[in-house]
Amino acid sequence: MAGWLALILLVLAGIAIVLRSDSGLISGFSGFGGFSAAEIAAAAFALAVVIVITAPLLRRYQDRLGLMGRDLLVWSGVTVGVLALYAYRADLPQIADLMVGTLAPKGAALDVPAPVETERMVRLKRQSTGHFVARTLINGGALELVVDTGATTIVLKPSDAEQVGIDISKLTYSVPVETANGSAFAAPVRLQTVLVGPVGLASVDALVAMPGALDQSLLGMSFLSRLKSYEFSGDFLTLRG
């Protein structure tokens, strides 16, 4: 029965198309209910397709309303998901970055695709202590530095300085500094390279603190001020270089 109904609708659609000409409608036919022959043909064709598709589905789900409801819900969800992906396709990279950043462990450094090919970006996630910690490569050696915009330079504690190849026995501690442990002196040095993820600088001024003066090495403004920008946003710090 459904097959015959679909066939009749297709025939009607064909008749409506034949009745239409480039100059208008012939044989005195001007549509029905304010609709043109083309609109009626399209509606008849669409209805025929719906009947052809739904007829076997109705036979399958006969007396199985629960299964029909479940499948309808699944396919509705799939359809909505596909439409959402298409609608927000331009924002997918940013959404993915946000999800990765949210799931990443605190203090992790996340490489971020830059809008400009010549630009490099990295995003740091705030640690549970409230600080941003940058996992850096200084002169090729790995160190963890606390980001401190109040520090005028990078400041290394002696053990970290030795780890990146600085001979602290040859340093002159002549620069007065204020640390969390009080006033002290530090030795000026110049670091060959400083990298935070893909963001890096060469020839960066730094200080080496006297033994016992500093609990944690600091990533200060001698690095941050030479970047293209740095931005605090919620639990994230984004560096652009």
Same domain assignment for residues 24 and 132: no
Same domain assignment for residues 113 and 223: yes
Residue 93 lies in a domain: no
Domain harbouring 134, CATH code: 2.40.70.10
Structural domain including 14 reads 2-87
* Two structure tokens written together for 148: 């401190």
* Two structure tokens written together for 146: 């606390």
> How big is the CA angle at 163 (ends 161 and 166), to the nearest 5 degrees?
45
Task: Give the chain's length.
Answer: 241
Q: Total domain count for the chain?
A: 2
Same domain assignment for residues 10 and 120: no
Same domain assignment for residues 73 and 138: no
Same domain assignment for residues 117 and 208: yes
Asked if 19 and 37 count as a contact pair (C-beta separation under 8 A), the reply is: yes
Same domain assignment for residues 20 and 137: no
Same domain assignment for residues 121 and 188: yes
Residue 212 lies in a domain: yes
Residue 96 lies in a domain: no
Tell me the torsion sign for CA atoms 14, 18, 21, 27: negative
Asked if 19 and 25 count as a contact pair (C-beta separation under 8 A), the reply is: yes
| Phi then psi dihedrals of residue 199, to 5 deg | -90, 120
Query: How would you write the pLDDT of the chain (241 residues) with one tens digit per residue?
Result: 544 554 555 555 555 555 554 444 444 444 555 556 666 666 666 666 666 666 666 666 666 666 666 666 776 777 777 777 667 656 555 555 555 555 555 445 555 555 555 678 888 888 888 899 999 999 999 999 999 999 999 999 999 999 999 999 999 999 988 876 778 889 999 999 999 988 999 999 999 999 888 889 999 999 999 999 999 888 889 999 8
Domain boundary among 38, 57, 87: 87
pTM for the structure as a whole: 0.56
State the DSSP H helix or E strand holding residue 223, giving kind and residue range, or none if neither.
helix 221-224
* Two structure tokens written together for 139: 């002169």
3-state secondary structure of 7: helix
Residue 78 lies in a domain: yes
Same domain assignment for residues 19 and 78: yes
Same domain assignment for residues 14 and 130: no
Asked if 112 and 121 count as a contact pair (C-beta separation under 8 A), the reply is: yes
Q: Give how far Cα 99 sits from Cα of 45, 103, 110, Å.
A: 44, 6, 11
Same domain assignment for residues 150 and 215: yes
Same domain assignment for residues 74 and 188: no
